[in-house]
Amino acid sequence: MAPTSSPLTLIVATTPVRVASQDPANPEPVTRLGIGLNGTLPWPRIKADMSFFARVTSRAPEPGTTNAIIMGRKTYDSVPKHLRPLGKRISAIITRDTTGSVRKGVEEDLKKRKEKMAALAAAKTAGNVEQKDEPITDAIVVPSLDSALEELQEISGSVQALGKLFVIGGEFGDVDGVKRPLRIVMTNVVRKPEGGEEVPFECDTFWPLDYMDERNGWRSASPQELSEWVGEEVTGEWIREGDVEVQMVGYEKLD
């Protein structure tokens, strides 16, 4: 079971956007970190980031453990239906819904997803014994971030031990009340056509934290630390993919 002192990692991709100030005393536009547009990502598919996210969130710390990904209901809905809940991870979906309709939808998605994954696994192993130590695919529906952490802790060990804990964006980047070590694994995204000027992405959803600096209680992690956190080498250098450049960086909340 993951001890309650194990870190909670916020994993997100953001892009800087100039937006109108909400502060009448400082009317100059401010830079915010955009994460979404119209219920989906602001940018077309960025393979380098999507595969990084998939590897990092599904890579269990040891055999027989499964990582958890905690998200708001809208982030869950933004995952293509045939891919949700995301495989080899336990999804915790936070909602205010009390009618049971979100839970019912998630249970139906889970059932279909498990059937599909079982069929794929059977084809792959051609009837050989199931891989017992592989991460499982599961999902829970909860009313808050606190209850997500509690319920994940409770179910840990009943089927498989809990591995790493991630919050995967949306409103739940605001984790001030969480009593655990907090980390951020962030992909910086910019659109910069070769040889041209930066062209900002349009965004309607923003990361709740704008500056992860010491004044706000955060410090930057070195590429070596970030590599240890995520379980693979991260250089911190910008990677170009078409018109877009991405860079993976890390932050840690100071005590």
Ligand X SMILES: NC(=O)c1ccc[n+]([C@@H]2O[C@H](COP(=O)([O-])OP(=O)(O)OC[C@H]3O[C@@H](n4cnc5c(N)ncnc54)[C@H](OP(=O)(O)O)[C@@H]3O)[C@@H](O)[C@H]2O)c1
Cα of first residue to Cα of last residue in the chain, in angstroms, is 24
Q: Which is nearer to ligand X, 52 or 65 (CB)?
A: 52
| Contacts with ligand X, 8-37, as mask; x by CB under 6 A | ----xx---------------------xx-
Any contact of residue 91 with ligand X (CB under 6 A)? no
Q: Which is nearer to ligand X, 168 or 234 (CB)?
A: 168
At position 70, the amino acid (one-letter code) is: I
Q: 89: which DSSP letter?
A: S
Q: Which is nearer to ligand X, 162 or 203 (CB)?
A: 203
The CA distances from residue 122 to 19, 64, 135, in Å, are 51, 19, 16
Q: Name residues contacting ligand X, limited to 92-151 (CB under 6 A).
A: 94-97, 102, 143-144
The bridge status of strand 90-94 relative to strand 138-142 is parallel
Any contact of residue 78 with ligand X (CB under 6 A)? yes
Among 205, 234, 245, 253, binds ligand X (CB under 6 A): 205
Among 171, 174, 225, 228, binds ligand X (CB under 6 A): 171
Any contact of residue 169 with ligand X (CB under 6 A)? yes
Among 31, 40, 224, 235, binds ligand X (CB under 6 A): 40
Distant-in-sequence, close-in-space partners of 134: CB < 8 Å, separation ≥ 6: 88
Q: Which is nearer to ligand X, 65 or 168 (CB)?
A: 168
Q: How far apart are CA 218 and CA 70, in angstroms?
A: 21
Any contact of residue 71 with ligand X (CB under 6 A)? yes
* Residue ranges of E strands in the chain: 8-19, 30-36, 65-72, 90-94, 138-142, 161-167, 182-191, 205-206, 218-221, 239-241, 244-253
Give the number of other Cβ atoms within 10 Å of residue 221's Cβ: 20
Among 29, 39, 63, 157, binds ligand X (CB under 6 A): 39
Report the interface residues with ligand X, using CB under 6 A.
Answer: 12-13, 35-36, 39-41, 71-75, 78, 94-97, 102, 143-144, 168-172, 205
